[in-house]
Amino acid sequence: MTYLYSDGTEMGKDVPTGGNRQILAANQIPDVVKKAVIATEDASFETNSGFDVGGILRAAYNQVTGGSGGGSTISQQYIKNASGDDDPTLARKWVELAKSFKMNQTYEKADIITAYLNIIYFGRGAYGIQAAAQAYFGKDVGQLDYSQSALLAGLIQQPGRSENTAVATSRWNTALDRMLKNGYLTQAQRAAAKFPTPIPLRESREAGALNPFIKKQVKAELAAQGIDEKQYYSGGFQVFTTIDPQAQQSAEKAVAEGMADQTDDRILNALVAVDPKSGGVLAYYGGDAIVKGPNGEDQAGRDWADEPHNPGSSMKPFDLAAFLKLGRGLDARFDGTSPRTFPGVDLPIRNAGDSSSCSQQCTVAEAMQRSTNTVFYDMVLNVTKPSGVAEAAQEAGIRTSDNGGRSKLFTGDNNISIGGGGTQVTAADMASGYATFAANGVQRDRHFVQKVTNANGETAYEAKDRSADAFADNDPQKSAQIAGNVTAALAPVIQFSKLSCPAGHECAGKTGTQQHTPQNDEPASAANANSQTWMVGYTPSVSAAVWVGSDGDKALRGPNGAPLFGSTLAGPIWDRFMQLYLSGKPGERFDRVAAISSPQDRVQVQVQQPQQQQNQPDQRDQRQPGNRQQADQLEQFRQFQQRLQELQNRQRGRNGNGNGNGGQNGGVSVPSGTPDPNPGG
């Protein structure tokens, strides 16, 4: 199977490791293997004539009623796999039956089961029992025991899910139970059986090899569309992915440069970029494909882009979206001082440093810029509730186990407000969630595959646009207004965090940091360390999430011993990626929307874009010079900016900290963090 980038250039080929299968003679396959397969796939194999009447009737009934499941014998399965004809029609089934019957009249059963075991697909790219024995257990088929034989027999029905331990264990148990039922195992053997853990799935280290994490995501996406490994390995398929070669190269380069000086091998990383206009994944970096094991051996790395982590303050935009859905605005005020106590909360809530704190009349706009924990904790506890934040996050594209994802949105306490506790999100989901803000409140499903063609160039699958108005059902204007207000709040965070937008491109984003929880056996300095850091940001054309952190809660520090923050490592990697990827591309600006404000929130404000973005020509207006409504919105936006500047100047004057140089993110609610030398939420 050939993988192609979004521009049609070749990414690489995925050749099954068992493609050059070894053909074995009947006497080379042990009886225990044959019996395991017969018991699991076709218990009447030794006595039937190549077909099973009951199975055929079930297949006919399911064909008529639209049900699933058939009743193919081993002989019929061999005919289907040898011919490559998998047409789900009764006509094909009758031809298969006739050929199976004739084969059983012509050949011995020993020859049929041997031919079957030489051709059938077992997963891991392994065709035939010898290739499967090598792929799963690193041994020849003659060395397999009954437990290993049972696992391979069980995987015949679900080869594409062989790496799912729960599925593999279930299929193994099914095979053992059928072996016992058919008299191929004793009760003692069944009771003593232990799951035969396969050897690790090694990834190729050859130059030009496919990115294993992209390949895994593509295969999972195809499987969800009913296209399994057997089809695309044997059908000469071409997969046109959404991966932009320039974006992928920029991602890998940005990470490599950003991590070059880091000496702590516990520091892991991931970067995912998504196209807000389509939901297509532009770049996907999940970490090193090959890592060293505990004994120095090579082993497959983990896809850290698909592992959930505490998001810290990068969760706050979803707090804000939930708040805006209730009709409240950026001009709403909360007490931004630190520490603060809340009814029913055991410990005080603290901001992460002096520059993260605000006045007792802190606007939501300034609280987002400063990443003021006490404001967002108050907002969620007393206004939106944790469930409101979880709802907004899911509407934006965060996938929990309820909708096929891996992220966790814990609503049992209020720590979701600052991205701590049981709330954990993947980098892929964060890129998708922020992409919804970039897309004017339109949520588009994240995907890796544009289309798939077969050997004849015919389209076997093509992705369809699956989109929704994220924050207001069937009300695109309101959803866009909510998203636009979130963008307005996030725009100044870029400059506040000492990051930058690519020249000519407006951008917005949020850093995040999760503080390490020190253990009793750790030194006192561990209390000032962090374990997870983030930068998630976007322009109208790309949303990118960068995670730099540890596997679990480990105290991470840079080479100079200083704690890591979202703005000190993840932030610069994000900045570098955006600069590399967008260099030379046409400038872009966010759509302007009206501010959301309620009677409770009297003063209208609008967060200005970073200074270097001001006075850029409005390219969107140039494309549509006759759009009066758009011009009115632009003027409204500019007035908004002026009002905010006046408000911020007055507020800084009251606080006496108008020249303060920033703050840092705090991702947890209890101990205060170490001041960040590079400010930003």
pLDDT in tens, 203-223: 323 334 578 899 999 999 999
Q: What residues contact 43, with CB distance under 8 A and at least 6 apart? A: 178, 181, 182
Same domain? For 350 and 495 the reply is yes
Q: In angstroms, rounded to a whole number, what is the distance separating the alpha carbons of residues 555 and 522?
A: 9
Q: In angstroms, rounded to a whole number, what is the distance separating the alpha carbons of residues 387 and 66?
A: 39
Q: Indicate the SS3 state at residue 281.
A: strand
Q: Which 8-state DSSP code applies to residue 27?
A: G
At 51, the pLDDT band (50, 70, 90 cuts) reads low
In a domain, 150, yes or no: yes
Q: Give the angle subtended at the CA of 608 by the CAs of 604 and 612, to the nearest 5°.
A: 165
Instruction: For residue 200, say if its preceding peptide bond is cis, omega within 30 degrees of 0.
Output: no
In a domain, 257, yes or no: no
Decide the pairing of beta strands 238-241 and 2-4: parallel
Answer with the one of 140, 170, 192 that is the final residue of a domain. Answer: 192
Q: In angstroms, rounded to a whole number, what is the distance separating the alpha carbons of residues 531 and 269?
A: 12
Length of the chain: 681
Residue 448 in tokens: 């890796």
Check residue 465 and give its pLDDT: 87
Which has the minimum average pLDDT: 123-127, 420-424, 520-524, 626-630? Answer: 626-630
Residue 196 in tokens: 């035969």
In a domain, 130, yes or no: yes
CA atoms within 13 A on the CB side of 155: 36
First CA to last CA distance, the chain: 44
Q: What percentage of residues in the chain have a pLDDT greater than 90?
A: 54
Q: Identify whether the C-beta of residue 668 lies closer than 8 Å to the C-beta of residue 484.
A: no
Q: In angstroms, rounded to a whole number, what is the distance separating the alpha carbons of residues 311 and 255?
A: 19
**If you average pLDDT over residues 265-294, what whole number do you get?**
89
Secondary structure of 319-377 in HEC code, one letter for each residue: HHHHHHHCCCCCCCEECCCCCECCCCCCCCECCCCHHHCCCCCEEHHHHHHHCCHHHHH
pLDDT tens readout for residues 140-188: 999 999 999 999 999 998 886 777 888 899 999 999 999 999 999 999 9
Check residue 469 and give its pLDDT: 96
2: β partners: 13, 238
In a domain, 275, yes or no: no
pLDDT tens readout for residues 515-548: 877 777 777 776 777 788 999 999 999 999 999 9
In a domain, 174, yes or no: yes
Q: What is the CATH number of the domain that holds 515?
A: 3.40.710.10
Residue 521 in tokens: 């056996």
Q: If you average pLDDT over every residue of the chain, what do you get?
A: 82
Q: What is the CATH number of the domain that holds 88?
A: 1.10.3810.10
In a domain, 218, yes or no: no
- Is pLDDT larger for residue 458 or for residue 517? 458
Residue with tokens 């974006």: 247
Answer with the one of 123, 157, 192 that is the final residue of a domain. Answer: 192
- Judged against a pLDDT cut of 60, whether residue 628 lies above it is answered with no
Q: Identify whether the C-beta of residue 222 lies closer than 8 Å to the C-beta of residue 447.
A: no
Residue with tokens 């890591």: 564
Which one from 72, 100, 313, 531 is the annotated catalytic residue?
A: 313
Domain of 79 in residue numbering reads as 2-192
Q: Identify whether the C-beta of residue 560 lies closer than 8 Å to the C-beta of residue 545.
A: no
Q: Identify whether the C-beta of residue 597 lies closer than 8 Å to the C-beta of residue 323.
A: no
Q: What percentage of residues in the chain have a pLDDT greater than 70?
A: 78
Q: Identify whether the C-beta of residue 134 lies closer than 8 Å to the C-beta of residue 24.
A: no
Answer with the one of 173, 192, 211 that is the final residue of a domain. Answer: 192
CA distances from 238 to 4, 234, 456 (A): 7, 11, 10
Same domain? For 22 and 156 the reply is yes
Which one from 41, 96, 203, 229 is the annotated catalytic residue?
A: 41
Indicate left, alpha or beta for 50 from its phi (over 0: left) and psi (-120 to 50: alpha). Answer: left
In a domain, 237, yes or no: no
Q: Give the angle subtended at the CA of 494 by the CAs of 668 and 244, to the nearest 5°.
A: 100
Check residue 131 and give its pLDDT: 85
Check residue 618 and give its pLDDT: 31
Q: Identify whether the C-beta of residue 302 lies closer than 8 Å to the C-beta of residue 552.
A: no
Q: In angstroms, rounded to a whole number, what is the distance separating the alpha carbons of residues 569 and 267?
A: 11
**If you average pLDDT over residues 41-62, what whole number do you get?**
68
Q: Indicate the SS3 state at residue 447.
A: strand
In a domain, 384, yes or no: yes
pLDDT tens readout for residues 644-655: 455 445 444 444
407: annotated active-site residue: no
Check residue 19 and give its pLDDT: 52
Q: What are phi and psi of 520, to 5 degrees?
A: -60, -30
229: annotated active-site residue: no
Overall pTM > 0.85 = no
Q: What are phi and psi of 574, to 5 degrees?
A: -60, -45
- As for how many domains the chain has, the answer is 2
Q: In angstroms, rounded to a whole number, what is the distance separating the alpha carbons of residues 326 and 334?
A: 16
